[in-house]
Each structure stands twice: as structure tokens, then as C-alpha cells.
Amino acid sequence: DTGVSQDPRHKITKRGQNVTFRCDPISEHNRLYWYRQTLGQGPEFLTYFQNEAQLEKSRLLSDRFSAERPKGSFSTLEIQRTEQGDSAMYLCASSLGAGAADTQYFGPGTRLTVL
């Protein structure tokens, strides 16, 4: 399977703990996106990488959130001092990069539950 993969698929943690998610994009894709989705809502944009450069960040990405894409391949999203409001599905997507029109390919997501 050469699609976008995310690990883990599910994460349950206690409030105050740190969590890290990984995304492996489609290999030739230079753009990588992170989204958060809560029940009954569409994906909310968090951040965007062009190769290893983080070019856009949403105001949703508080100081507790950080994302990296160190070699322009896989990416990690870390949430420090988790809160119950962080419980959501975290989606990663990648694309080839063709202006605003490029098709994003989504992974299956990591479902985070903060107790």
C-alpha cells in the first residue's frame, strides 16, 4: 500500500501527558498537511509543509502543538500537556504540489482520546 499512513491509529492518554503522532506521506509528494477533525465537523487546517519548510500555521495550533518534517519526508505532530479538548481525529494529507488546486491524499487518521 503506497498511500498516506499514520501511526498510531488510536491513542488514549491522560490529561497532562505528551503525545506524538507520525505521518508518512506518499513518497513523491512534497506537500504535507495536518488537520484536526471533531465529531460533526469537517477537517480543520492546522499546518502545512512544503518539503521541510513549515509555511502555514493555523491559530488553532497553540503553543502546545508543534509539527516537524525534518527531512521533507515523514512528519510528526506533538501535543504537549494534553487537555480533554484535544480529543479529536488528527488527519494527515499529502500532495504533489500544483498550486491551490492540487489534490490532497488523506491518511486514515489518528484518533486521540484524552481522559
Partner 1 sequence: DQQVKQNSPSLSVQEGRISILNCDYTNSMFDYFLWYKKYPAEGPTFLISISSIKDKNEDGRFTVFLNKSAKHLSLHIVPSQPGDSAVYFCAASSAGKTGGFKTIFGAGTRLFVKA
Q: Is 33 in the site for partner 1 (CB under 8 A)?
A: yes
Q: Is the peptide bond before 70 cis (omega within 30 degrees of 0)?
A: no
d(CA 113, CA 14): 8
Q: Which of 11, 4, 57 is CA-nearest to residue 26?
A: 4
**Cell numbers standing for residue 95:** 500532495
Using DSSP's 3-state secondary structure scheme, residue 86 falls into helix
Q: Is 4 in the site for partner 1 (CB under 8 A)?
A: yes
Min separation Cβ 17 and partner 1, Å:
25
d(CA 38, CA 40): 6
Min separation Cβ 100 and partner 1, Å:
4
Q: Is 21 in the site for partner 1 (CB under 8 A)?
A: no
* Binding residues for partner 1 restricted to 38-57, rule: CB under 8 A: 40-45, 48, 50, 55-56
Q: Is 72 in the site for partner 1 (CB under 8 A)?
A: no
Binding residues for partner 1, rule: CB under 8 A, are: 4, 31, 33, 35, 40-45, 48, 50, 55-56, 91, 93, 99-109
